[in-house]
């Protein structure tokens, strides 16, 4: 690993030494790992990391890579993780001492950019200022290309899934992946560009909050509402030196679920002829009730051909699972089917037909 040591002199009476490590660029083997495929694009290394002490802060300056290690252009800006650590007595970096002090999502890189470079100011630990003059700090900057979560909308849940991150290397020694934290926020739908997953300019109805901890690399969100816009992000959780540590946010999955799911098909449709008033012939229909929470009603269709749906009778929706058709004519044979409709206007496929033969007189 390449590196150099810089001794900086403060205007105050405290001096600190800063070791800049050029640079550790990892992806897919983080500490902890962002949920991502095992072989995502690897950003090119940072080669111009510099550091300057400014009072009780350290100013880090570097160029964010725009291409992969193989020279291909990155589809989006990588996230940045700033680590601070110390040295062993022999002057080599103590990998176990490095702690994540800040994460800059790629979407927020502009907020830390000046003159074309990333500039980050790290406040030094206050307890070190009077008690540890001459302390040497080592910094590592890790970049990682984000991969989107997979999100699938079903009738009862928004199903999220993501590949398991890989942990490896000296930076991750002794760390164990124990699960994930799923975060969800609600966005202002009208202010969102649906082609972009950049949340830096997002307008939140409710900011992201922890939705649920999970042990596996999938989660089903059943507490959503159709028509609202949600942004999901996932963080890996590892145990490092006995403490739980979260990764950076994954790239967001932005979902506006639409209710395109029809109710269940009505079952057990029965049709029977019964005598009506003044000798009028009537067909009595009944079927099993639907139990969907967004159920709106039923439609009954009548046809004189077994392979056609026919026309609705009556036109309006029926709220109960029964209907009496008094518009039938003697000497005809009818086929009835029933559909269910929800409040979004989704209509189920027709039920199995039920036939009634009025060509014979009533007994």
pLDDT band at 173 (very low <50, low <70, confident <90, very high): low
Is 16 a residue whose pLDDT tops 80? no
Is 81 a residue whose pLDDT tops 80? yes
Specify the 3-state DSSP secondary structure of 224.
Answer: coil
Cis link prior to 32 (omega < 30° from 0)?
yes
Q: What is the pLDDT of residue 21?
A: 52
Average pLDDT value for residue range 228-251: 86
Cα distance between residue 141 and residue 21, in whole Å: 8
Is 20 a residue whose pLDDT tops 60? no
pLDDT band at 109 (very low <50, low <70, confident <90, very high): confident
Strand partners, 342: 295
Q: At 221, give phi and psi (nearest 5°).
A: -90, 110
Is 237 a residue whose pLDDT tops 50? yes
Q: What is the pLDDT of residue 147?
A: 60
Strand partners, 232: 184, 253
- Residue 175 or residue 3, greater confidence: 175
Q: What is the pLDDT of residue 146?
A: 58
Domain with CATH 2.60.40.10 in the chain: 2-255, 270-357
| Residue 299 near residue 347, CB atoms below 8 Å | yes
Is 79 a residue whose pLDDT tops 90? no
Q: At 130, give phi and psi (nearest 5°).
A: -90, -20
**279-311 confidence digits (pLDDT tens):** 788 999 999 999 998 999 999 999 999 989 999
Is 27 a residue whose pLDDT tops 50? no
- On average, the pLDDT of the chain sits at 80
The CA–CA distances, whole Å, from 51 to 7, 19, 21, 54, 214 equal: 10, 8, 10, 10, 39
- Residue 171 or residue 297, greater confidence: 297
Kind of pairing, strands 16-22 and 136-144? parallel
Q: Could you count the other beta carbons within 10 Å of the beta carbon of residue 21?
A: 19
Topology given in CATH for the domain delimited by 270-357: Immunoglobulin-like (2.60.40)
- DSSP line for 224-263: --TT-EEEEEEEEEEEETTEEEE-PPPBPEEE------PP
- Residue 31 or residue 119, greater confidence: 119
Strand partners, 180: 214, 236
Q: Is the pTM of this model over 0.85?
A: no
Q: What tokens appear for 65 in the block?
A: 């890579």
CATH classification of 2-255 is 3.90.230.10, yes or no? no
- Residue 124 or residue 157, greater confidence: 157
Span of 248-252, 253-257, 258-262, 296-300 with lowest mean pLDDT: 248-252
Q: What is the pLDDT of residue 214?
A: 95
Average pLDDT value for residue range 99-115: 79
Is 10 a residue whose pLDDT tops 70? no
Q: What tokens appear for 227 in the block?
A: 């028509």
In the chain, the percentage of residues whose pLDDT exceeds 70 is 78
Specify the 3-state DSSP secondary structure of 335.
Answer: strand
Is 229 a residue whose pLDDT tops 60? yes
């Amino acid at each position: 690993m390449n590196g150099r040591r810089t001794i900086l002199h403060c205007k105050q009476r405290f001096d600190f030494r800063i070791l800049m490590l050029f640079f550790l660029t990892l992806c897919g083997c983080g500490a902890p790992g962002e949920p991502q495929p095992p072989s995502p694009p690897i950003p090119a290394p940072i080669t111009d990391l510099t550091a300057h002490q400014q009072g009780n802060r350290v100013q880090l300056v570097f160029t964010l890579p725009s291409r992969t290690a193989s020279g291909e252009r990155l589809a989006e800006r990588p996230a940045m993780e700033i680590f601070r650590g110390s040295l062993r007595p022999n002057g080599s970096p103590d990998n176990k001492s490095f702690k994540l002090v800040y994460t800059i999502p790629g979407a927020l890189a502009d907020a830390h950019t000046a003159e074309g470079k990333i500039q980050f100011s790290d406040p030094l630990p206050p307890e070190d200022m009077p008690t540890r003059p001459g302390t040497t700090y080592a910094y590592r900057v890790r970049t990682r290309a984000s991969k989107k979560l997979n999100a699938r909308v079903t009738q009862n849940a928004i199903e999220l899934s993501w590949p398991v991150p890989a942990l490896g290397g000296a930076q991750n020694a002794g760390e164990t992946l124990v699960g994930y934290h799923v975060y969800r926020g609600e966005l202002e739908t009208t202010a969102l560009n649906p082609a972009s997953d950049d949340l830096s300019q997002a307008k939140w109805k409710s900011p992201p909050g922890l939705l649920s901890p999970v042990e596996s690399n999938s989660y089903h969100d059943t507490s959503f509402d159709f028509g609202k816009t949600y942004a999901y992000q996932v963080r890996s959780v590892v145990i490092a030196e006995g403490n739980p540590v979260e990764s950076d946010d994954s790239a967001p999955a932005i979902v506006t679920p639409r209710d395109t799911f029809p109710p269940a098909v009505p079952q057990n449709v029965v049709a029977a002829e019964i005598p009506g008033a003044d000798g009028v012939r009537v067909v009595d229909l009944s079927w099993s009730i639907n139990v969907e929470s967004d159920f709106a009603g039923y439609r009954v269709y009548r046809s004189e051909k077994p392979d056609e749906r026919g026309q609705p009778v009556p036109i309006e929706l029926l709220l109960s699972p029964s209907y009496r058709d008094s518009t039938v004519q003697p000497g005809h044979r009818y086929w009835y089917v029933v559909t269910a409709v929800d409040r979004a206007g989704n209509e189920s496929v027709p039920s199995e037909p039920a036939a009634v033969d009025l060509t014979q007189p009533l007994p």
